[in-house]
Amino acid sequence: MIRILISLACVSFLAACGSTQLNEAPEDMGAFSARVIHVYTDKAKQWPLSRSAEPSEWNAQMENAMETRLRRYDGGQEYDVAVSLEGYMLAPPGVPVLVNPKSVAVVNVFVYDVANETFLAKKEQMEIFEDTTGQSVILGSGHTRTKEEQIAGLSLNIADTIEEWMAKQHAENGWFNKRAAPAVASE
Protein backbone atom coordinates (compact mmCIF):
# COMPACT_ATOMS: atom_id res chain seq x y z
CA MET A 1 0.00 0.00 0.00
CA ILE A 2 2.84 2.39 0.80
CA ARG A 3 4.43 1.66 -2.59
CA ILE A 4 1.18 2.52 -4.32
CA LEU A 5 0.89 5.82 -2.44
CA ILE A 6 4.52 6.71 -3.20
CA SER A 7 3.99 5.84 -6.86
CA LEU A 8 0.88 8.00 -7.03
CA ALA A 9 2.71 10.88 -5.34
CA CYS A 10 5.54 10.64 -7.90
CA VAL A 11 3.15 10.52 -10.82
CA SER A 12 1.19 13.50 -9.51
CA PHE A 13 4.40 15.49 -9.02
CA LEU A 14 5.56 14.78 -12.57
CA ALA A 15 2.15 15.59 -14.01
CA ALA A 16 2.04 18.91 -12.19
CA CYS A 17 5.37 19.92 -13.73
CA GLY A 18 4.01 19.79 -17.27
CA SER A 19 1.15 22.27 -17.05
CA THR A 20 0.57 25.00 -19.62
CA GLN A 21 1.53 28.54 -18.62
CA LEU A 22 0.12 31.79 -19.96
CA ASN A 23 3.57 33.34 -20.44
CA GLU A 24 5.37 30.50 -22.26
CA ALA A 25 8.04 31.44 -24.79
CA PRO A 26 6.63 32.34 -28.22
CA GLU A 27 6.63 29.77 -31.01
CA ASP A 28 8.19 30.38 -34.44
CA MET A 29 5.25 31.91 -36.31
CA GLY A 30 7.12 33.61 -39.15
CA ALA A 31 5.42 36.81 -40.34
CA PHE A 32 2.16 36.16 -38.43
CA SER A 33 0.30 39.10 -36.95
CA ALA A 34 -3.27 38.77 -35.69
CA ARG A 35 -5.68 41.30 -37.19
CA VAL A 36 -8.85 39.84 -35.67
CA ILE A 37 -9.24 37.14 -33.02
CA HIS A 38 -12.84 36.04 -32.68
CA VAL A 39 -14.19 33.63 -30.07
CA TYR A 40 -17.67 32.19 -30.54
CA THR A 41 -19.28 30.21 -27.72
CA ASP A 42 -23.02 30.80 -28.15
CA LYS A 43 -23.90 27.39 -29.58
CA ALA A 44 -21.58 25.25 -27.46
CA LYS A 45 -23.14 22.04 -26.20
CA GLN A 46 -22.74 20.97 -22.59
CA TRP A 47 -22.17 17.22 -22.57
CA PRO A 48 -23.80 14.75 -20.16
CA LEU A 49 -22.20 14.43 -16.72
CA SER A 50 -20.67 17.91 -17.03
CA ARG A 51 -20.83 20.48 -14.29
CA SER A 52 -23.42 23.06 -15.18
CA ALA A 53 -22.01 26.03 -17.09
CA GLU A 54 -23.47 28.41 -19.62
CA PRO A 55 -21.63 28.79 -22.95
CA SER A 56 -21.33 32.53 -22.24
CA GLU A 57 -19.17 31.76 -19.17
CA TRP A 58 -16.41 30.65 -21.56
CA ASN A 59 -16.24 33.84 -23.62
CA ALA A 60 -14.08 36.11 -21.45
CA GLN A 61 -11.67 33.33 -20.46
CA MET A 62 -11.17 32.12 -24.05
CA GLU A 63 -10.83 35.66 -25.41
CA ASN A 64 -8.22 36.53 -22.77
CA ALA A 65 -6.18 33.38 -23.43
CA MET A 66 -6.32 33.76 -27.23
CA GLU A 67 -5.47 37.48 -27.11
CA THR A 68 -2.57 36.90 -24.72
CA ARG A 69 -1.09 34.06 -26.76
CA LEU A 70 -1.57 35.42 -30.30
CA ARG A 71 -1.23 39.21 -29.93
CA ARG A 72 2.44 38.89 -28.96
CA TYR A 73 3.34 38.12 -32.60
CA ASP A 74 4.03 41.14 -34.79
CA GLY A 75 5.25 39.64 -38.03
CA GLY A 76 3.80 42.22 -40.38
CA GLN A 77 1.33 40.02 -42.30
CA GLU A 78 -2.25 40.04 -41.08
CA TYR A 79 -4.32 36.96 -40.36
CA ASP A 80 -7.73 36.49 -38.77
CA VAL A 81 -8.22 33.65 -36.30
CA ALA A 82 -11.65 32.44 -35.22
CA VAL A 83 -12.36 29.80 -32.58
CA SER A 84 -15.75 28.22 -32.10
CA LEU A 85 -16.41 26.27 -28.90
CA GLU A 86 -18.49 23.29 -30.05
CA GLY A 87 -18.87 21.28 -26.86
CA TYR A 88 -17.46 20.75 -23.40
CA MET A 89 -17.54 18.58 -20.33
CA LEU A 90 -16.41 20.10 -17.05
CA ALA A 91 -15.37 17.23 -14.82
CA PRO A 92 -17.75 16.67 -11.93
CA PRO A 93 -16.51 15.34 -8.60
CA GLY A 94 -15.70 11.66 -9.06
CA VAL A 95 -14.62 8.86 -6.77
CA PRO A 96 -11.03 9.69 -5.71
CA VAL A 97 -8.38 7.41 -7.27
CA LEU A 98 -11.01 5.20 -8.98
CA VAL A 99 -12.97 7.54 -11.24
CA ASN A 100 -11.31 10.87 -11.99
CA PRO A 101 -12.93 12.41 -15.06
CA LYS A 102 -10.96 15.12 -16.88
CA SER A 103 -12.52 18.21 -18.35
CA VAL A 104 -12.49 18.41 -22.14
CA ALA A 105 -13.51 20.88 -24.83
CA VAL A 106 -13.90 20.58 -28.59
CA VAL A 107 -13.23 23.63 -30.76
CA ASN A 108 -13.22 24.45 -34.45
CA VAL A 109 -10.46 26.76 -35.65
CA PHE A 110 -10.45 28.98 -38.72
CA VAL A 111 -7.38 30.88 -39.99
CA TYR A 112 -7.81 33.48 -42.73
CA ASP A 113 -5.01 35.12 -44.75
CA VAL A 114 -6.17 38.73 -45.11
CA ALA A 115 -3.86 39.76 -47.99
CA ASN A 116 -4.56 36.69 -50.13
CA GLU A 117 -8.23 36.54 -49.12
CA THR A 118 -8.09 32.77 -48.54
CA PHE A 119 -8.65 30.40 -45.67
CA LEU A 120 -5.54 28.56 -44.51
CA ALA A 121 -7.70 26.47 -42.20
CA LYS A 122 -11.42 26.06 -42.48
CA LYS A 123 -12.95 24.27 -39.53
CA GLU A 124 -9.95 22.43 -38.08
CA GLN A 125 -11.44 20.48 -35.17
CA MET A 126 -9.44 19.97 -31.97
CA GLU A 127 -10.16 18.09 -28.75
CA ILE A 128 -8.43 19.63 -25.74
CA PHE A 129 -8.12 18.19 -22.24
CA GLU A 130 -7.34 20.02 -19.02
CA ASP A 131 -3.93 19.73 -17.36
CA THR A 132 -3.50 17.36 -14.46
CA THR A 133 -2.16 18.79 -11.22
CA GLY A 134 -0.69 17.05 -8.20
CA GLN A 135 -4.05 17.11 -6.45
CA SER A 136 -6.30 16.37 -9.41
CA VAL A 137 -4.43 13.21 -10.38
CA ILE A 138 -5.64 11.57 -7.17
CA LEU A 139 -8.86 13.40 -6.35
CA GLY A 140 -9.98 14.52 -9.81
CA SER A 141 -10.39 18.13 -10.90
CA GLY A 142 -14.06 18.07 -9.94
CA HIS A 143 -12.93 17.93 -6.31
CA THR A 144 -9.91 20.24 -6.54
CA ARG A 145 -11.04 22.98 -8.94
CA THR A 146 -14.03 25.25 -9.19
CA LYS A 147 -16.01 25.46 -12.41
CA GLU A 148 -14.34 28.81 -13.13
CA GLU A 149 -10.85 27.33 -12.63
CA GLN A 150 -11.68 24.45 -14.98
CA ILE A 151 -12.92 26.88 -17.66
CA ALA A 152 -9.82 29.09 -17.23
CA GLY A 153 -7.48 26.08 -17.46
CA LEU A 154 -9.20 24.67 -20.53
CA SER A 155 -9.24 28.10 -22.18
CA LEU A 156 -5.49 28.40 -21.71
CA ASN A 157 -4.96 24.89 -23.09
CA ILE A 158 -7.15 25.75 -26.10
CA ALA A 159 -5.05 28.85 -26.86
CA ASP A 160 -1.80 26.91 -26.32
CA THR A 161 -2.89 24.02 -28.55
CA ILE A 162 -3.98 26.39 -31.33
CA GLU A 163 -0.73 28.37 -31.10
CA GLU A 164 1.38 25.19 -31.27
CA TRP A 165 -0.71 23.83 -34.16
CA MET A 166 -0.32 27.10 -36.10
CA ALA A 167 3.46 27.05 -35.50
CA LYS A 168 3.56 23.46 -36.78
CA GLN A 169 1.61 24.47 -39.90
CA HIS A 170 4.10 27.29 -40.44
CA ALA A 171 7.06 24.91 -40.12
CA GLU A 172 5.57 22.15 -42.29
CA ASN A 173 3.49 24.09 -44.83
CA GLY A 174 4.95 27.60 -44.81
CA TRP A 175 1.73 29.23 -43.65
CA PHE A 176 3.26 32.42 -42.31
CA ASN A 177 6.36 32.69 -44.49
CA LYS A 178 7.28 36.25 -45.34
CA ARG A 179 5.89 37.23 -48.74
CA ALA A 180 7.91 39.10 -51.31
CA ALA A 181 7.18 42.82 -51.45
CA PRO A 182 4.91 43.80 -54.34
CA ALA A 183 6.75 45.04 -57.39
CA VAL A 184 6.70 48.79 -57.89
CA ALA A 185 5.51 49.83 -61.34
CA SER A 186 8.07 51.94 -63.19
CA GLU A 187 7.06 54.89 -65.33
* Domain assignment present for 176: no
pLDDT in tens, 107-120: 999 999 999 999 99
* Domain assignment present for 51: yes
Q: So what's the pLDDT on residue 146?
A: 87
* Domain assignment present for 153: yes
- Best CA proximity match to 96, nearest among 8, 187, 31: 8
The count of domains in the chain is: 1
* Domain assignment present for 177: no
Domain around 51: 27-168
Residue positions counted in the chain = 187
* Domain assignment present for 7: no
pLDDT in tens, 37-47: 999 999 999 99
SS3 59: helix
Q: So what's the pLDDT on residue 24?
A: 80
Whether the per-residue pLDDT at 142 is higher than 60: the answer is no
Please name the amino acid found at residue 154. L
pLDDT > 90: what percent of the chain? 61
Residue 4: pLDDT band with limits 50, 70, 90: very low
* Domain assignment present for 33: yes
Residue 131: pLDDT band with limits 50, 70, 90: confident
* Separation of alpha carbons 171 and 51, rounded Å: 38
Q: So what's the pLDDT on residue 145?
A: 83
Helices in 71-178 by DSSP H: which ranges?
A: 136-139, 141-144, 147-173
* Domain assignment present for 31: yes
* Domain assignment present for 5: no
Residue 7: pLDDT band with limits 50, 70, 90: very low
Q: At 65, which CATH number? A: 3.40.50
Q: Any bridge partners for residue 81, and if so which? A: 37, 111
The pLDDT mean for the chain works out to: 83
pLDDT in tens, 63-79: 999 999 999 999 999 99
